[in-house]
């Protein structure tokens, strides 16, 4: 009897994500929360789908009762709440707004469902996950095994774009490619050399083609923004990715599925094997995560990476620690 909540469920990501979660037969209760009242209509609409999850909508209220009703007793909470960047808004403006939203929602989780698995989609994930961790630490409920930044869209893009790059566009689902690092631009490191099955050696011999593929994966979001021409950013592929990761967490935690491994941006600070494989003491990093009944069962070290991937790792490590610190400072020095 899995109870799931989507916070920010009336949004571009939230609506399709909620719909996809409604199709998961493991979920028996699906609670949709947002600041806008239309979330009740979204829930009503989705509730007509003939799958087990009983679906309800909850609106943010000044007394906190709306959030309390959405969260109490929840096993898994997925957070796509936030604001997308609007004209005239700087990256710092966006950071401050989304950071505040994630902080407030994390406080609600700490209070009403401290044992839930928490999956954060709200950007910048590199900073919002540390923000949630700080809130949970302050409330005495931080469990690094249960907090995840969703990086699955980078995994999904890696498979799709690699298949296209080798002229096998129908074979996207055949490739499993670990993606490590963070969840924006240069912090995203697709380990193409570790693809299973292996990508053809001709791809690795053509350095320009390889670099173009990596850049396309790292900045895949820009392709969508451009194509939507002012109509927003990636929502549908992100919803799919969020759903896929939520399903992986649920199947390992509640359905006893073994051997579920998925990259995710998680707390690595107290795992020496991992930080040594990264080559830096860092608090959060995306690595392949083995999932189980309590969430993170095991983190997988980086393994053999190519000299080119080492360069990508260096570029990631120039940016990522600052993003983590920015999140921590947002809570510690408001």
* Binding-site residues from annotation for NAD(+): 8-14, 34, 98, 121-123, 238
Rounded CA-CA distance 233/34 in Å is: 19
Strand partners of residue 29 = 3, 54
Three-state secondary structure call for residue 297 = strand
Q: Which stretch binds ligand APR (CB under 6 A): 28-36, 197-205, 284-292, 303-311?
A: 28-36
Q: Tell the residue number behind the tokens 């809570």, with chain if given.
A: 331
CB of 17 to ligand APR, least distance (A): 9
CA count, 13 A, side-chain hemisphere, 122: 33
- From the number of C-beta atoms within 10 Å of its C-beta (0-12, 13-18, 19+), residue 74 rates as buried
Dihedral angle computed from the Cα positions of residues 87, 9, 39 and 143, in that order, rounded to the nearest 10 degrees: -120
Residues annotated within the binding site are 8-14, 34, 85, 91, 98, 121-123, 157, 238
Catalytic residue among 48, 58, 112, 183: 183
204-228 exposure pattern, b = at least 16 Cβ within 10 A, e = fewer: eeeeeebeebbebbbebbeebbeee
For residue 87, cis peptide bond before it (omega within 30 degrees of 0): no
The whole-angstrom separation of Cα 177 and Cα 247 is 19
User: Which 237-266 positions form the footprint of ligand APR (CB under 6 A)?
Assistant: 238
Residue 186 known to be catalytic: no
Does 57 engage in binding with ligand APR (CB under 6 A)? no
Contact letters for ligand APR, residues 4-23 (x by CB under 6 A): ---xx-xxxxx---------
In which residue are the tokens 């990596």 written?
Answer: 214
Q: Please report, as residue ranges, which positions from 106 to 165 form the binding site for ligand APR (by CB under 6 A).
A: 121-123
Name the one range near ligand APR by CB under 6 A: 32-40, 206-214, 289-297, 324-332.
32-40
- Name which position in 23, 28, 29, 35 contacts ligand APR (CB under 6 A): 35
What is the CB neighbour count within 10 angstroms for residue 240?
Answer: 18
Structure tokens at 250: 């649920």
Residue 83 or residue 138: which is nearer to ligand APR going by CB? 83
Angstrom distance (rounded) from CA 323 to CA 328: 9
**Least distance to ligand APR, CB of residue 101, Å:** 4
Q: How many binding residues for ligand APR (CB under 6 A)?
A: 27
Query: Minimal distance in Å, beta carbon 314 to ligand APR?
Result: 26
* 80 part of the interface to ligand APR, by CB under 6 A: yes
Stretch that binds ligand APR, among 34-42, 48-56, 279-287, 318-326 (CB under 6 A): 34-42
In this chain, which stretch among 136-144, 197-205, 227-235, 319-327 interacts with ligand APR, using CB under 6 A? 227-235
Binder to ligand APR among 101, 113, 150, 260 (CB under 6 A)? 101
Q: Shortest distance, CB of residue 330 to ligand APR, whole angstroms?
A: 15
Helices (H) and strands (E) in the chain, counts: 12, 11
Secondary structure element (H or E) that encloses residue 162, with its range: helix 152-165
| Residue 4 β-bridge partners | 30, 76
Nearer to ligand APR, 160 or 237 (CB): 237
Q: How far is the CB of 125 from ligand APR (least distance, A)?
A: 8
Q: Which active-site residues does the annotation give?
A: 183
Q: Which residues bind ligand APR (CB under 6 A)?
A: 7-8, 10-14, 33-36, 60, 80-84, 98, 101, 104, 121-123, 232-233, 235, 238
């Amino acid at each position: 009897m899995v109870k799931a909540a989507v916070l920010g469920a009336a949004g571009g990501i939230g609506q399709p994500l909620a719909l996809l979660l409604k199709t998961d037969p493991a979920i028996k209760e699906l609670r949709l929360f947002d600041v806008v009242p239309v979330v009740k209509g979204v829930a009503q609409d989705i509730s007509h789908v003939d799958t087990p999850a009983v679906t309800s909508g909850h609106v943010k209220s000044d007394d906190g009762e709306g959030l309390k009703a959405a969260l109490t007793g929840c096993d898994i909470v997925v957070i796509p709440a936030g604001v997308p960047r609007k004209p005239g808004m700087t990256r710092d403006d966006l950071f401050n707004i989304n950071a505040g939203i994630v902080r407030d929602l994390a406080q609600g989780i700490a209070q009403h469902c401290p044992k839930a698995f928490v999956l954060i989609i709200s950007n910048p994930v590199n900073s919002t996950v540390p923000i949630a961790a700080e809130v949970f630490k302050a409330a005495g409920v931080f469990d690094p095994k249960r907090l995840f930044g969703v990086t699955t869209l980078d995994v999904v893009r890696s498979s799709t774009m690699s298949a296209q790059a080798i002229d096998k566009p129908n074979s996207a689902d055949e490739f499993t490619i670990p993606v490590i690092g963070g969840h924006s631009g240069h912090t995203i490191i697709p380990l193409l050399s570790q693809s299973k099955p292996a990508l053809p050696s001709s791809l690795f011999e053509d350095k320009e083609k390889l670099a173009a593929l990596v850049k396309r994966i790292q900045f895949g979001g820009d392709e969508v923004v451009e194509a939507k021409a002012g109509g927003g950013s990636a929502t549908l592929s992100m919803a799919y990715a969020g759903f896929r990761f939520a399903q992986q967490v649920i199947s390992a935690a509640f359905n006893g599925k073994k051997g579920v491994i998925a990259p995710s941006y998680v707390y690595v600070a107290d795992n020496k094997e991992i930080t040594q494989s990264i080559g830096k003491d860092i608090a959060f990093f995306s690595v392949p995560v083995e999932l189980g009944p309590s969430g993170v069962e095991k983190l997988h070290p980086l393994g053999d990476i190519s000299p080119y991937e080492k360069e990508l790792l260096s570029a990631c490590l120039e940016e990522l620690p600052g993003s983590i610190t920015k999140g921590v400072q947002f809570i510690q020095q408001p």
